[in-house]
Amino acid sequence: MHCSANLRGGIVYLPTMARLDAGGHMLIEPVEVVPVSDSFRLREAFERCFARGNPMRAMPKTRAEWPPFVMLKNVGVKSSSAWEKGLSEWDVEETDGAWRIVGRRKRQGRGTEQDFSQKIVFPAGTTANEVIDRMIAILQERAGLPAQ
């Protein structure tokens, strides 16, 4: 399971991450949109995002077949570069019961990449709820909110 947690302007965006048949992921609807200050609703949004998992999609064959970038509509900006301004991103990943959170950083050129200096690997037996608690704490700390 792969989840993308995105913080921009005090709002957390949790898109559904489709798994592409040729490898990789694509952001699709639905996108959860929750104020970072609302821990209760944020927890529910993460739970729904985890429950949706990563539905399989065919890899678009041409650039023209790629759908519009789903975050633009949800955020109300016109370009991916506008979306990236003030953005903090994390990947939440679970493989065979092993959880990790990895922060993302801007890469040279366009887009982002995983920043392994911001990696948290959870011990065996960690629950999804414990991972959600940690992710909420990270998001709220990054937003400058007091620890709860």
Q: Higher model confidence: residue 15 or residue 65?
A: 15
- Tell me how far apart the alpha carbons of residues 12 and 6 are, in angstroms, rounded to a whole number: 5
Would you state the pLDDT for residue 16?
Answer: 97
∠ CA 7-15-32, rounded to 5°: 75
Using only the alpha carbons of the chain, give its radius of gyration.
15
Instruction: Spell out the domain ranges in the chain.
Output: 2-142
- 81 pLDDT more than 90: no
Has residue 20 got a pLDDT over 90?
yes
pLDDT at position 7 is 97
Domain 2-142, what fold?
Answer: NMB0488-like fold (3.40.1590)
Question: Can you give the pTM of this predicted structure?
Answer: 0.93
Q: Which of the four pLDDT bands, split at 50, 70 and 90, describes residue 110? A: confident
- The pLDDT, as a whole number, for residue 39 is 97
CA-to-CA separations, 93 to 13, 81, 87, in angstroms, rounded: 16, 25, 19
- Residue 88's pLDDT is 95
